[in-house]
Amino acid sequence: MRKFSIVGLQLELARDGNMALLAEQVAIAKRRFPWLDMIVASELSCHGVSTERAEPLPGPSEEAFAELARQHGVWLIPGTLFERDGDKVYNTAPVINPAGEIVARFRKIYPFYPYEEGVTGGTELCVFDVPGIGRFGLSICYDIWFPEVTRSLAWMGADVVINPSLTNTVDRDVELALVRGGAASNQLYVFNVNGAGKLGWGRSIVCGPGGEILYQAGTGQEVFALELDLDDVKRVRERGWNGLGQVLKSFRDHPMSFPPYERGARSATFDALGPLKKPDKTNE
Protein backbone atom coordinates (compact mmCIF):
# COMPACT_ATOMS: atom_id res chain seq x y z
CA MET A 1 0.00 0.00 0.00
CA ARG A 2 1.23 3.46 -0.91
CA LYS A 3 -0.45 5.73 1.62
CA PHE A 4 0.71 9.34 1.97
CA SER A 5 -0.72 11.96 4.32
CA ILE A 6 -0.84 15.65 3.40
CA VAL A 7 -1.89 18.60 5.55
CA GLY A 8 -3.13 21.77 3.87
CA LEU A 9 -2.65 25.12 5.61
CA GLN A 10 -5.46 27.45 4.54
CA LEU A 11 -4.40 30.37 6.71
CA GLU A 12 -5.61 33.93 7.23
CA LEU A 13 -2.36 35.61 6.30
CA ALA A 14 -1.20 39.20 6.52
CA ARG A 15 0.11 41.05 3.48
CA ASP A 16 3.69 40.37 4.65
CA GLY A 17 5.65 38.95 7.56
CA ASN A 18 3.98 35.55 7.90
CA MET A 19 7.02 33.42 8.66
CA ALA A 20 6.31 33.18 12.41
CA LEU A 21 2.68 32.19 11.78
CA LEU A 22 3.68 29.56 9.23
CA ALA A 23 6.27 28.11 11.60
CA GLU A 24 3.69 28.00 14.39
CA GLN A 25 1.09 26.28 12.20
CA VAL A 26 3.59 23.71 10.91
CA ALA A 27 4.48 22.85 14.52
CA ILE A 28 0.81 22.63 15.52
CA ALA A 29 -0.01 20.42 12.54
CA LYS A 30 2.83 18.05 13.37
CA ARG A 31 1.70 17.78 17.00
CA ARG A 32 -1.93 17.28 16.05
CA PHE A 33 -1.27 14.87 13.18
CA PRO A 34 1.98 13.07 14.09
CA TRP A 35 1.42 10.67 11.20
CA LEU A 36 1.52 13.38 8.52
CA ASP A 37 4.06 13.17 5.68
CA MET A 38 3.77 16.53 3.91
CA ILE A 39 2.57 20.07 4.67
CA VAL A 40 1.43 22.43 1.92
CA ALA A 41 0.74 26.17 2.29
CA SER A 42 -0.92 28.58 -0.13
CA GLU A 43 0.68 30.67 -2.87
CA LEU A 44 2.77 33.68 -1.74
CA SER A 45 2.15 32.65 1.86
CA CYS A 46 5.26 34.17 3.41
CA HIS A 47 5.64 37.68 2.01
CA GLY A 48 2.41 38.34 0.13
CA VAL A 49 1.86 39.69 -3.35
CA SER A 50 4.47 42.45 -3.61
CA THR A 51 7.41 41.69 -5.90
CA GLU A 52 9.47 44.15 -3.84
CA ARG A 53 10.04 41.28 -1.38
CA ALA A 54 11.57 39.07 -4.06
CA GLU A 55 14.82 37.39 -2.98
CA PRO A 56 17.38 35.14 -4.66
CA LEU A 57 17.12 31.39 -4.15
CA PRO A 58 18.64 29.99 -2.09
CA GLY A 59 17.84 32.82 0.29
CA PRO A 60 16.87 33.54 3.88
CA SER A 61 13.19 32.62 3.62
CA GLU A 62 13.86 29.34 1.85
CA GLU A 63 16.60 28.52 4.37
CA ALA A 64 14.14 29.14 7.23
CA PHE A 65 11.63 26.80 5.59
CA ALA A 66 14.33 24.16 5.11
CA GLU A 67 15.14 24.29 8.82
CA LEU A 68 11.44 24.02 9.62
CA ALA A 69 11.11 20.87 7.49
CA ARG A 70 14.21 19.34 9.07
CA GLN A 71 13.07 20.22 12.60
CA HIS A 72 9.70 18.51 12.17
CA GLY A 73 10.80 15.73 9.81
CA VAL A 74 8.21 16.48 7.10
CA TRP A 75 8.06 17.19 3.41
CA LEU A 76 7.27 20.90 3.11
CA ILE A 77 5.92 22.91 0.20
CA PRO A 78 5.60 26.35 1.84
CA GLY A 79 3.45 27.80 -0.90
CA THR A 80 5.47 30.17 -3.07
CA LEU A 81 7.61 33.26 -2.83
CA PHE A 82 8.88 35.73 -5.37
CA GLU A 83 12.34 34.76 -6.59
CA ARG A 84 14.73 37.36 -8.01
CA ASP A 85 17.08 36.03 -10.68
CA GLY A 86 19.05 38.82 -12.30
CA ASP A 87 16.58 41.35 -13.65
CA LYS A 88 13.68 38.87 -13.60
CA VAL A 89 11.19 37.89 -10.89
CA TYR A 90 9.55 34.46 -10.77
CA ASN A 91 6.75 33.07 -8.61
CA THR A 92 8.51 30.01 -7.23
CA ALA A 93 7.56 27.04 -5.05
CA PRO A 94 10.38 25.17 -3.27
CA VAL A 95 10.03 21.47 -2.43
CA ILE A 96 11.86 20.51 0.78
CA ASN A 97 12.35 16.97 2.05
CA PRO A 98 12.33 15.87 5.72
CA ALA A 99 16.13 16.26 5.89
CA GLY A 100 15.76 19.95 5.04
CA GLU A 101 17.12 19.54 1.51
CA ILE A 102 15.73 21.47 -1.46
CA VAL A 103 14.82 18.71 -3.91
CA ALA A 104 13.06 20.93 -6.49
CA ARG A 105 12.01 24.47 -7.31
CA PHE A 106 9.11 25.20 -9.63
CA ARG A 107 8.54 28.54 -11.32
CA LYS A 108 4.89 29.29 -12.08
CA ILE A 109 4.46 28.83 -15.81
CA TYR A 110 1.41 31.06 -16.24
CA PRO A 111 1.47 34.19 -14.07
CA PHE A 112 -2.00 35.71 -13.78
CA TYR A 113 -1.50 38.20 -16.60
CA PRO A 114 -2.32 40.98 -17.03
CA TYR A 115 -2.68 41.40 -13.26
CA GLU A 116 0.42 39.61 -11.93
CA GLU A 117 2.62 42.40 -13.21
CA GLY A 118 6.40 42.23 -13.26
CA VAL A 119 6.52 38.43 -12.99
CA THR A 120 8.15 36.23 -15.62
CA GLY A 121 6.64 32.85 -16.42
CA GLY A 122 8.72 29.72 -15.95
CA THR A 123 9.43 27.34 -18.80
CA GLU A 124 10.07 24.01 -17.06
CA LEU A 125 7.66 21.45 -15.62
CA CYS A 126 8.36 19.97 -12.20
CA VAL A 127 7.97 16.46 -10.85
CA PHE A 128 9.75 14.93 -7.87
CA ASP A 129 9.77 11.49 -6.28
CA VAL A 130 8.95 10.57 -2.69
CA PRO A 131 10.94 7.35 -2.22
CA GLY A 132 8.78 4.28 -1.82
CA ILE A 133 5.57 6.26 -2.41
CA GLY A 134 5.28 7.80 -5.85
CA ARG A 135 5.79 10.81 -8.08
CA PHE A 136 4.41 14.27 -7.39
CA GLY A 137 3.94 17.21 -9.74
CA LEU A 138 3.69 20.92 -9.03
CA SER A 139 1.56 23.64 -10.55
CA ILE A 140 0.75 27.05 -9.10
CA CYS A 141 -2.70 28.67 -9.06
CA TYR A 142 -3.43 29.92 -12.61
CA ASP A 143 -1.46 27.00 -14.10
CA ILE A 144 -4.51 24.83 -13.34
CA TRP A 145 -6.46 26.79 -15.99
CA PHE A 146 -4.18 25.34 -18.67
CA PRO A 147 -4.94 21.63 -19.11
CA GLU A 148 -1.65 21.13 -20.92
CA VAL A 149 0.19 21.59 -17.61
CA THR A 150 -1.69 18.91 -15.69
CA ARG A 151 -1.69 16.53 -18.67
CA SER A 152 2.07 16.94 -19.05
CA LEU A 153 2.62 16.20 -15.34
CA ALA A 154 0.51 13.05 -15.69
CA TRP A 155 2.50 12.07 -18.79
CA MET A 156 5.68 12.51 -16.71
CA GLY A 157 4.31 10.04 -14.17
CA ALA A 158 2.74 12.23 -11.49
CA ASP A 159 0.30 10.46 -9.16
CA VAL A 160 -0.48 13.69 -7.29
CA VAL A 161 -0.43 17.33 -8.38
CA ILE A 162 0.14 19.90 -5.63
CA ASN A 163 -1.41 23.25 -6.53
CA PRO A 164 -0.88 26.17 -4.09
CA SER A 165 -3.12 29.07 -5.03
CA LEU A 166 -4.11 32.57 -3.98
CA THR A 167 -7.48 33.49 -5.42
CA ASN A 168 -9.79 36.24 -4.18
CA THR A 169 -11.85 36.83 -7.30
CA VAL A 170 -15.30 35.79 -8.51
CA ASP A 171 -13.85 33.01 -10.67
CA ARG A 172 -12.91 30.85 -7.66
CA ASP A 173 -15.93 28.64 -8.32
CA VAL A 174 -14.72 28.04 -11.87
CA GLU A 175 -11.26 27.24 -10.53
CA LEU A 176 -12.74 24.54 -8.32
CA ALA A 177 -14.33 22.97 -11.40
CA LEU A 178 -10.99 23.07 -13.20
CA VAL A 179 -9.26 21.33 -10.30
CA ARG A 180 -11.89 18.62 -10.34
CA GLY A 181 -11.75 18.28 -14.12
CA GLY A 182 -7.95 18.10 -14.12
CA ALA A 183 -8.06 15.27 -11.59
CA ALA A 184 -10.65 13.31 -13.56
CA SER A 185 -9.16 13.79 -17.02
CA ASN A 186 -5.68 12.82 -15.85
CA GLN A 187 -6.71 10.20 -13.28
CA LEU A 188 -4.62 11.58 -10.42
CA TYR A 189 -5.03 13.47 -7.14
CA VAL A 190 -5.04 17.27 -7.16
CA PHE A 191 -4.34 18.92 -3.80
CA ASN A 192 -5.23 22.62 -4.04
CA VAL A 193 -4.56 24.95 -1.10
CA ASN A 194 -5.85 28.53 -1.27
CA GLY A 195 -5.24 31.41 1.11
CA ALA A 196 -7.91 32.90 3.36
CA GLY A 197 -8.55 36.23 5.09
CA LYS A 198 -7.29 39.42 3.43
CA LEU A 199 -5.53 37.70 0.55
CA GLY A 200 -7.71 34.76 -0.51
CA TRP A 201 -11.23 33.41 -0.45
CA GLY A 202 -10.33 29.95 0.80
CA ARG A 203 -12.37 26.97 -0.41
CA SER A 204 -9.31 24.77 -0.79
CA ILE A 205 -10.17 21.51 -2.49
CA VAL A 206 -8.74 18.00 -2.79
CA CYS A 207 -9.93 15.73 -5.59
CA GLY A 208 -9.31 12.06 -6.28
CA PRO A 209 -8.41 10.31 -9.56
CA GLY A 210 -12.05 10.00 -10.55
CA GLY A 211 -12.63 13.72 -10.06
CA GLU A 212 -14.43 13.01 -6.79
CA ILE A 213 -14.25 15.71 -4.12
CA LEU A 214 -12.42 14.29 -1.11
CA TYR A 215 -12.55 17.54 0.86
CA GLN A 216 -13.54 21.15 0.33
CA ALA A 217 -12.76 23.80 2.92
CA GLY A 218 -14.84 26.79 3.88
CA THR A 219 -13.79 30.40 3.44
CA GLY A 220 -11.99 30.94 6.77
CA GLN A 221 -8.83 29.56 8.29
CA GLU A 222 -8.60 25.76 8.23
CA VAL A 223 -5.91 23.16 8.68
CA PHE A 224 -6.99 19.91 7.04
CA ALA A 225 -5.33 16.50 6.77
CA LEU A 226 -6.02 13.77 4.23
CA GLU A 227 -4.46 10.37 3.67
CA LEU A 228 -4.09 9.65 -0.04
CA ASP A 229 -3.83 6.14 -1.47
CA LEU A 230 -1.52 6.32 -4.46
CA ASP A 231 -2.30 2.72 -5.35
CA ASP A 232 -5.78 4.00 -6.17
CA VAL A 233 -4.28 6.08 -8.97
CA LYS A 234 -2.75 2.96 -10.53
CA ARG A 235 -6.05 1.09 -10.13
CA VAL A 236 -8.15 3.87 -11.67
CA ARG A 237 -5.77 4.26 -14.61
CA GLU A 238 -5.88 0.53 -15.28
CA ARG A 239 -9.59 -0.12 -14.73
CA GLY A 240 -11.26 3.28 -14.95
CA TRP A 241 -12.91 5.06 -12.04
CA ASN A 242 -15.58 2.63 -10.82
CA GLY A 243 -14.82 0.56 -13.91
CA LEU A 244 -15.64 3.43 -16.29
CA GLY A 245 -13.45 5.51 -18.63
CA GLN A 246 -9.77 4.62 -19.06
CA VAL A 247 -8.94 8.16 -20.13
CA LEU A 248 -5.16 8.06 -20.34
CA LYS A 249 -5.16 4.84 -22.34
CA SER A 250 -7.59 6.33 -24.85
CA PHE A 251 -5.44 9.45 -25.16
CA ARG A 252 -2.30 7.32 -25.59
CA ASP A 253 -3.76 5.02 -28.21
CA HIS A 254 -5.59 7.51 -30.46
CA PRO A 255 -3.71 8.63 -33.60
CA MET A 256 -5.06 12.19 -33.44
CA SER A 257 -2.53 15.02 -33.75
CA PHE A 258 -4.04 18.21 -32.37
CA PRO A 259 -3.57 21.29 -34.59
CA PRO A 260 -2.75 23.82 -31.82
CA TYR A 261 0.30 21.78 -30.79
CA GLU A 262 1.88 21.36 -34.21
CA ARG A 263 5.14 23.26 -34.60
CA GLY A 264 4.56 26.69 -36.12
CA ALA A 265 0.77 26.36 -36.04
CA ARG A 266 -1.16 29.65 -36.28
CA SER A 267 -4.82 30.40 -35.69
CA ALA A 268 -6.64 33.32 -37.25
CA THR A 269 -9.01 33.28 -34.29
CA PHE A 270 -6.20 33.47 -31.72
CA ASP A 271 -4.26 36.03 -33.76
CA ALA A 272 -7.32 38.30 -33.79
CA LEU A 273 -7.66 38.35 -29.98
CA GLY A 274 -5.44 41.41 -29.59
CA PRO A 275 -2.83 42.14 -26.92
CA LEU A 276 -2.85 40.70 -23.41
CA LYS A 277 -3.69 43.74 -21.28
CA LYS A 278 -6.13 44.91 -18.62
CA PRO A 279 -9.56 45.62 -20.11
CA ASP A 280 -10.54 49.24 -20.75
CA LYS A 281 -13.63 50.79 -19.26
CA THR A 282 -16.68 50.09 -21.39
CA ASN A 283 -20.16 51.58 -21.51
CA GLU A 284 -21.58 48.76 -23.60
CATH number at residue 8: 3.60.110.10
Residue 281 lies in a domain: no
Residue 168 lies in a domain: yes
| Segment 98-137, tens digit of pLDDT | 999 999 999 999 999 999 999 999 999 999 999 999 999 9
| Segment 145-182, tens digit of pLDDT | 999 999 999 999 999 999 999 999 999 999 999 999 99
Residue 266 lies in a domain: no
Residue 55 lies in a domain: yes
> Quick check: 66 pLDDT over 90?
yes
Q: Percent of the chain beyond pLDDT 90?
A: 96
255 exposure class (CB count in 10 Å sphere: 0-12, 13-18, 19+): exposed
| Segment 197-225, tens digit of pLDDT | 989 999 999 999 999 999 999 999 999 99
Per the CB < 8 A criterion, the answer to whether 205 and 176 are in contact is yes
Domain count, the chain: 1
Residue 283 confidence (pLDDT): 63
pTM passes above 0.95: yes
The CA distance from 125 to 109, in Å, is 8
The residue range of the domain holding 244 is 3-250
Say how many Å lie between the first and final Cα of the chain, rounded: 58
Residue 255 lies in a domain: no
> Quick check: 86 pLDDT over 70?
yes
Residue 83 lies in a domain: yes
Residue 272 lies in a domain: no
| Segment 91-109, tens digit of pLDDT | 999 999 999 999 999 999 9
Residue 276 lies in a domain: no
